[in-house]
Amino acid sequence: MSTSRKAASALISVFHKDGLEPIVRKLHQLGITLYSTGGTESFIRDLGIPVEAVESLTGYPSILGGRVKTLHPKVFGGILGRRELADDKGQMQQYEIPSLDIVVVDLYPFEKTVASGASEQDIIEKIDIGGISLIRAAAKNFRDVLCVASQDDYAPLLALLEKAGGESTLEERQAFAANAFQVSSHYDTAIFNYFNRKAGVQALKVSEPSGRVLRYGENPHQKGMFFGDFEALFDQLHGKELSYNNLLDIDAAVNLMEEFRQDDPTFAILKHNNACGVATRPTLAEAYRDALAGDPVSAFGGILICNRPIDLATAAQVNELFCEVVIAPGYQADALELLKGKKNRILLVQKPLTLPETQVRTCLNGLLWQEKDAKTDQRDELQQATKTRPTPAETEDLLFASKICKHTKSNTIVLAKGKQLCASGTGQTSRVDALNQAIHKAKSFDFELNGAVMASDAFFPFPDCVEIAGKAGIRAVIQPGGSIKDQLSIDYCNENGIAMVMTGTRHFKH
C-alpha cells in the first residue's frame, strides 16, 4: 500500500487571504481542480483562475447569513471518504461525491475579536462552525487528505507543492494534521475560556500555540521549552539565546519593576528570581550605582532592569559588570553601542505590556491555579499600630521595602533606607532566620542600619523579630498583622520608640 498521494482536487475556504495567491496559482499550474465558496471563491476568480463553487457541488446556496455553507455530505464525504476502502469508494460513486484531496481552511479570528472589545453578538458570530468541522474532518483522514489549517501553514504548503508537484507522503500529511488539531484545540480553548468567565465551570484550559526549544531546562541534563509569544513583550537587540533560567529571572524582574513603573528612576538587580539590589534616585546612573551597592557580589551574572531608557552614563557603569541580561524601555544610541561590546550580553527592550492576571503551576499529578498577587500596599491603607508614627521619609521607605518584599521568596525580611535596598533575607524557614540573614548581609556591605526600615511578607508570631530589628537600629516596621500575639510586638515597639504600621495583606511568595 503506497503512502504517497497525488492531489487532484482542493477545497479552499479561508478568512485570511494574504499569502494565498501563490498557492492558488501553483495548484492551478499543477492541474488541481479548485473548489471554493464565498469571499475566497471571488478572490480566486479575480485572479483569472477557474474555480468550482461549493454551491454547485452541494445544490444548496450559502444560507442563514453565511452560517451554513460547507456543512453537506458532498463536501464532508469528499474529505472523509477512505480512498482504498471499497465500500467508501462505491458510495462516493453512487452519490457523485468528488474526492477532496487538499483542504485549505482557516478560522474566524475569535481571539482578536474578543480582544478588540467587540459586542457579544459580534464575538458569537466569530465562532467558526464550518471551518472547524472541515479541519477536523481533513485532519482525521490524514491518510488520504492534506489539511492546511492556518495562515502559518501557507508557506510550508507552497514549499511542498513546489517540491513534490502535488504529491505528499503519509508523514507529511500527518505532520500537517497534528498542527491542524493544535489549531482546532486552541480555538476551542479560547471559546471555552470566554464563556467560562461567567459560567464558572471548574475546569482549566490552557493553550499556548507557539513555543521555542531552549538549550536545556533548569540544569543541562533537563530538556526545556518556552511556550508563549516572547516577541510581543520584548525586542532582543543583542546577545545569546535566552535560557530557561534567564526567562524565569526576566519574569521576576519584570513583575518587580512593574511596581516602580510610575516612580522616579529605579534600577533593580536580580539573582535567582530575588532582588539583590534596588534603588530609586533622581537619575538612572545614581539608581544603578546604589542598586549595585546593595550586593555587588550577588550582582555578578545577574539580571538588570530599570524603568527609564538607559543613557551613556548609566551604560558606562553597567558595562563594568558581568551580567546576563539588561532590560530597559529603551537605550540611547551611544549607550547601546557600548553595551553591545560584550557579545553574549542579552539586551532587551521591554514593550508596553499587560501582565497576566492569573498564575498556573504544576502540583502533584495536577495543576494549581490562582489569581496573581495584584495588591500593592498603599499609603492611605496603612493602619497605625504604635504610638510612634513613621516620618514621611520612613513611610516612603516602608512602601518601597514592601514592594520588594512582595516579590521576594518567603519567608522574607527586607531592610531599606533612603529608597535603597540594604539587604533581604530570602527563602528562609523561619522569619527570625530571614531577619538575621538580612542584618548580617547589610553589615557585610557596610550599611548603617540606624534609621532603616523593615518589611515582612507575613505577620510576626512572636516579638522576637522586632526585638532583633530594634537592636540593629531599625526605626519603622511594615507588616500584615493578624497574629493572635500582635500586641506583644506592638508593646515592644511602643516601649522602644519604633513605629509600626500594618497592611492587612500577606504577601507570601513560594
Cβ 413 vs Cβ 431: under 8 Å: yes
Give pLDDT tens digits for 75-102.
Answer: 888 999 998 889 988 888 888 889 999 9
Secondary element (H or E) of residue 313? helix 312-318
Cell numbers at 38, concatenated: 464565498
The pTM of this model reads: 0.88
Is residue 269 helix, strand or coil? Answer: strand
Cell 518587580 sits on residue: 256
Cβ 179 vs Cβ 149: under 8 Å: yes
Residues 6+ apart with CB under 8 A from 354: none
Cell 502533584 sits on residue: 364
Give pLDDT tens digits for 431-461.
Answer: 999 999 999 999 999 999 999 999 999 999 9
Spatial separation of the C-alpha atoms in residues 34 and 28, rounded to whole Å: 8
Which residue among the candidates 140, 238, 240, 342 is catalytic per the annotation? 140
Spatial separation of the C-alpha atoms in residues 474 and 447, rounded to whole Å: 12
Spatial separation of the C-alpha atoms in residues 81 and 97, rounded to whole Å: 9
Spatial separation of the C-alpha atoms in residues 166 and 168, rounded to whole Å: 7
Q: For each of the chain's 510 residues, which pLDDT tens digit applies?
A: 568 889 999 999 998 899 999 999 999 999 999 999 888 999 999 999 999 988 888 777 777 777 776 778 888 889 999 988 899 888 888 888 899 999 999 998 999 999 999 999 999 999 988 889 999 999 999 999 999 999 999 999 999 999 999 999 999 999 999 999 999 999 999 999 999 988 889 999 999 988 999 999 999 999 999 999 999 999 999 999 999 999 999 999 999 999 999 999 999 999 999 999 999 999 999 999 999 999 999 999 999 999 999 999 999 999 999 999 999 999 999 999 999 999 999 999 999 988 899 999 999 999 999 999 999 999 999 999 999 999 999 999 999 999 999 999 999 999 999 999 999 999 999 999 999 999 999 999 999 999 999 999 999 999 999 999 999 999 999 999 999 999 999 999 999 999 999 999 999 999
Is residue 86 helix, strand or coil? Answer: helix
Cβ 449 vs Cβ 442: under 8 Å: yes
Spatial separation of the C-alpha atoms in residues 97 and 57, rounded to whole Å: 8
**pLDDT given for residue 2 in this prediction:** 60
Spatial separation of the C-alpha atoms in residues 416 and 427, rounded to whole Å: 18
Spatial separation of the C-alpha atoms in residues 488 and 317, rounded to whole Å: 46
Is residue 123 helix, strand or coil? Answer: helix
Which residue among the candidates 240, 272, 340, 443 is catalytic per the annotation? 272
Nearest-10 Cα torsion for 152, 157, 158, 164: 160
Kind of pairing, strands 102-105 and 9-13?
parallel
Q: Which of 423, 426, 394 is nearest to 291 (CA)?
A: 423
Cβ 191 vs Cβ 208: under 8 Å: no
140 is catalytic: yes
Give pLDDT tens digits for 399-442.
Answer: 999 999 999 999 999 999 999 999 999 999 999 999 999 999 99
Edge-to-edge order in the sheet of strand 266-271: 234-238, 346-350, 323-328, 302-306, 266-271, 274-280
Spatial separation of the C-alpha atoms in residues 5 and 143, rounded to whole Å: 9
Cβ 392 vs Cβ 445: under 8 Å: no
Cβ 404 vs Cβ 385: under 8 Å: no
Spatial separation of the C-alpha atoms in residues 125 and 246, rounded to whole Å: 41
Spatial separation of the C-alpha atoms in residues 113 and 116, rounded to whole Å: 5
Phi first, then psi, for residue 300 (nearest 5°) are -60, 120
Distances (CA, A) of 346 to 159, 182, 233, 397: 34, 32, 15, 32
Spatial separation of the C-alpha atoms in residues 271 and 400, rounded to whole Å: 19
Is residue 138 helix, strand or coil? Answer: helix
